[in-house]
Amino acid sequence: MELALYGEGGFYSTGAMTGRRGHFITSPEVGTLFATVLAGALDSWWADLGRPDPFLVVEVGAGVGTLAAGIRRAQPRCSPALRYVLVERSSALRDRQARRLTLEPPSSLLRAGPGADDDDDEPDPSVGTGPMFTSLTDLPGEPFTGVVLANELVDNMAFVLLQRAECGWSEVRVGEEGADLVELLVPASPRLAEEADRLAPDAPHGARIPIQRRARTWLRDAHAKVHRGRVVMVDYTATTPTLAARRWEEWLRTYRVHGRGGHPLSAPGEQDVTCEVAVDQLATVGPPSEDRSQAEFLRFHGLEELVEGARATWRERAGVGDLQALRARSLVGEAEALTDPAGLGAFRVLEWDLR
């Protein structure tokens, strides 16, 4: 998975995009509504923190920068304080960010020292000069006051795959058979087997589970970087026991050009490989302060109020069918897609309040 997505010729290394012209649609790619609601959420988190300036928003797995561009367009109240860091490991995607946002050198946004913004008595000439945007390959080096945000990031992190054997656990590794990649079952290490027993004690013979250590490490790093603020993660989630009870092909999925792809080992680099996120494995970093559906989260942050006007306009002008009516219809459609209980609306938004 690591090589197929991020290695040479990997799916994301070669610039695979989300969105209508990409392989699959994510919430920021549905339209501008997701970013507009997020901009309002940023304002409320900024207010909760006492309106710090600078206010750092670090979006990890930022792709081509669609969410960042949408937040800039929405002009949140925190804009003058906003320092927005797009973290993206694919250089091909980082190159595209520069086409839609003016990116500053990282040094002009990131000051050294934990909470430099809170504890510093010196007047800072950069106060009130936002919004500013920059791009990095990894989380900033120093802790900061603000928010770490990740939409559909963790499901794309490589994991260890285990299968319940008659006695103990096997690890499903990847082997080569001629030109093909094949599954290779080897006995799991005692540490992995012990972890699997703890996470899914009732897994039946043949059941599979992911062990998502990278995701956990990433979340721990993100927590360590937030001196004061919040970590917010949006993704499709489950728990290890429920994954063990399901067919692995349901939760370890591949996508390609707006459809499902083939076996995870086929056509490496040409399809996305993604795994539902086992929240019980992440909770060891610390239980989230909030865990709600995307639909609930968006409504809590004002989605209905934003769409109310558009609904009325559409009702009044549907017969006219002018541009205003079509814009209103499109916004109503976006709201439906983002809150669809059988689709994006069922994603979970996990928040860790670290004030």
Chain contacts with ligand SAM (rule: CB under 6 A): 12, 18, 26, 28-29, 60-63, 87-90, 93, 151-153, 156-157, 218
Torsion of CA 315, 33, 77, 346, to 10 degrees: 120
3-class secondary-structure state, position 242 = helix
Least Å distance, CB 229 to ligand SAM, is 19
From the CB of 180, what's the least distance to ligand SAM, in Å?
Answer: 26
Select the residue whose beta carbon is closest to ligand SAM and give its number.
Answer: 61
Q: How far is CA 187 from CA 18, 128, 190, in A?
A: 37, 58, 9
**Cβ distance 185 to 161 under 8 Å?**
no
Q: Which is nearer to ligand SAM, 6 or 300 (CB)?
A: 6
Q: Which is nearer to ligand SAM, 25 or 267 (CB)?
A: 25
Give the number of C-alpha atoms closer than 13 A to the C-alpha of residue 164, restricted to the C-beta side. Answer: 21
Burial of 44 (0-12, 13-18, 19+ CB in 10 A): middle
Smallest distance from the beta carbon of 301 to ligand SAM, in angstroms? 17
Q: Do the beta carbons of residue 139 and residue 87 sit within 8 Å?
A: yes
CA 210 to chain CA centroid, nearest Å: 18
Shorter beta-carbon distance to ligand SAM: residue 60 or 243: 60
Residues 131, 134, 139, 143, CA torsion sign: negative
For 315-339, the three-class secondary structure string (H helix, E strand, C coil) is HHHCCCCCHHHHHHHHHHHHHHHHH
Closer residue to ligand SAM in complex, CB, 11/169 = 11
Minimum CB–partner distance for residue 217 and ligand SAM (Å) = 10
**Shortest distance in whole angstroms from residue 236 CB to ligand SAM:** 11
Handedness of CA 149, 151, 155, 158 (dihedral sign): negative
Q: Which is nearer to ligand SAM, 170 or 281 (CB)?
A: 281
26/170 with CB nearer ligand SAM = 26
Q: State the minimum distance, in angstroms, from the CB of residue 62 to ligand SAM.
A: 6
Residue 13 vs 163, nearer CB to ligand SAM? 13
Q: How far is the CB of 183 from ligand SAM (least distance, A)?
A: 24
